[in-house]
Structure 1
Amino acid sequence: MVGWEAIAGMFGKNAGTEDLEAFYPVRPECKADIPKTRFRPRAGKTLSARRWHAAFSEDGHLDIAKVLRRIQRGGIHPSIKGLVWEFLLGCFDPNSSFEDRNQLRQQRSGKFITTPIITDDGQPIEDGGWHVTSAVADKKVAQWMLSLHQIGLDVVRTDRALTFYENETNQAKLWDVLAIYSWVDDDIGYVQGMNDICSPMVILLENEADAFWCFERAMRKLRENFRCSTNSIGVQSQLSTLSQVIRTVDPKLHQHLEDLDGGEYLFAFRMLMVLFRREFSFIDALYLWEVMWAMEYNPNIFSSYELPSTASDSNSAQTFDQKLLKQYGKFERINVKNGHTDKNSALAVYLAASVLESKNKVILKEAKGLDDVVKIMGDITGNLDAKKACKEALKIQNKYLKKAKKS
């Protein structure tokens, strides 16, 4: 654990890679294989622990607009990433108080149950959602048990370069979170790649229940990526939107990809599936995610049914005045202003478009077949600049919405 004095010292300067490795240490034998990290916490831009604590009122209400602005400028300092992610992903409502969140955390940790599940004489109560028929239970248990083997195989392969996972207790923590999620989401269950999404939450949040709920909230955004059938893949709708975006903003590139039989954009499958985890270093991927989540932030992300009754419900009546718009991230604000509500037009789609655009000339000049496109896209792994990619993504979003409006 890094002391607060050391953290303050790091933050007073432009922290280097060595300082960041104090938070995410890499196994010595893996250092040569780790992609170069571009993210650096920068004073005056990155959300620091001091500014984070200053954004709360005395009773715990968070000035989310102020926090979003700072994250969009320079990400989050490693010392507070997990705490901030819980708000970005909607685990907690900024309008709740410290007490509200303590109550909710206790409920989510299973420290107490408010609904009775047995009668006074010890008999099980078979209503209220607790009773499950044995036939359904058997089928669900069998499906769940099958997924546990795959989870075990994937856990030992996850972020192996980090010393964090040399500890079997930490591997077990990742296994626990994925196993519980697989049980809870019996519609999709566990799919390979979810481990890449879950791992940072387990690393950033010491409490296992907090890590689970952070992951569960992230999966509300991403779970459809993992829905697969014999006829379709989970990200197919996003790939279709990506095709539409490139066709609109860069018809020449789109036509070239069509000619190479790449018009379905399957080469971008992995980018969208696991949110660019493989295209960036571990540290840069975390930075990319938090900037994305800040840009996509919607004040309605928090489900009010989970909120203790004492909490505020100030967003119940929506009027898109300037004060309310400030509570949206940059990306979502543009969508709201344009009345654009397509759920498949996530920021990740525009990020994939920005990556393609950055390789426009190379693809047009060198790609003679689809394998060439795959190779060109593969070569970007570890070489992307997250901040630049987000900036370009917003430009493409603006350009696309303007052209789409005209047509």
Structure 2
Amino acid sequence: MDVIVIGGGIVGVATAYQLRAAGHRVCVVERHATVAQGATYGHGGIVLPTPLDAWFGPTFLDPRRGARSGVVYRPGLSSSARRFAKRLAQWQASEAFRAQWLRLRPLVELSREAIASIEAGFHLEFEQTAGILHVMRHPREWEQAQSAFDLLREFETHHHVLSAAECADIEHSIPAEPTFAGGVMFEQERTANCPLFTKLVKQVLDEQGGVQFVFGRAVEAIRLESHRAAVELAPPEGERTHTREVDVMSCDAVVVAAGAGSAPLLERLGLSLPLHAVRMLSLTAPIAYEECAPHLTVVDSVRRVSMTRMNQRIRVAGAAVLQPDRELAKPLAEPLLEAGTALLAQATHDWVPGAAKISAAHAWEGQRLLSPDGLPVVGQAIHPRLFVNVGHGPAGWGLACGSAKVVADLISGATPLVPPETLAALRAERFAS
């Protein structure tokens, strides 16, 4: 089949890879000049989420608590954003959280296998580093996370629960004073360079053939017919056209994997999903003092800020900015940017003091779609020729590789390698009930 994938981030490129592996001819359409230029570019690096990383999990806090929850909350938040936050918080209760993690976990494991296959098959090196240490400051936060600890034990996830002193012994960059509640060490979980991985997979596809990349073109609309589908392309940026002629690319199926840009395309087709774009911030700073730089990725579990060494720099990522939908089309207001940057800088000062030269940091902000139940939206939607792969949120870029395999199987007419309960929980139709 001929398949058009809209979006050249990690989700779109991973989808193109799996489709090509299944024998399809693929065209990836991306509005930027190359891959990994949108939300993929600023990812913090955690490859796959654990129960402590899930945004529907027990460490999700009411955004009205502001910086203490890692959410930069905009006063005057619209009712729709308030409803979104309230729906997401419903999964915090232990039984609801466990049920939702049971649905997500097969996708996590499928993603792990998909990444391992790509990594081993092409000997890719994308700054992979094993070892993630989650830390929590206050005893009440530790208590709040107990349902996540229960899941780690239930599924025999390799981890070590550590005291504050043990955390400081394992990761020398963490100060022993002031004391804190403790931490959880994941020796086998990894961080990696997400944009580099995306570019390397694109290079593999270039060498193999069968996948075409069209850059610098935005998709204005999707056409769906009984026997064919098509996408309408906007003129190249900066090029004026005086005709009404539209560039149209035909195909057998379309996969929408354009991140925050997916919602408008789907809404024009009559598919309105209750997804909300959350702005995420990151700082990439040179190492200030080598002796202070962490050798593990350190994650402030409640603030949801990760601090990762990437060669001679530190990537500090998190600081979700929750805004009304109408504000998302505008540049981020300076006060909110300052608040988010301050949150990242404070987390760095608290957990890895002296590691990063924050004053010389490169700041980045981008939007990531998050669903009100914390799960991505993956599968066929409203038409036999339309597929979606969106809403993965901030917690782990590796999910893209598993959801890409699910989409490729569905397009190929094969049974996806996840349980029916997981497949149903990922479908767009779940929001109609």
Q: TM-score, normalised by structure 1?
A: 0.23
Higher strand share: 2
- Larger helix share, 1 or 2: 1
Q: Which has the larger radius of gyration?
A: 1
Q: Which has the higher contact order (CA 8 A, sep 6+)?
A: 2
Q: So what's the TM-score if we normalise by structure 2? A: 0.22
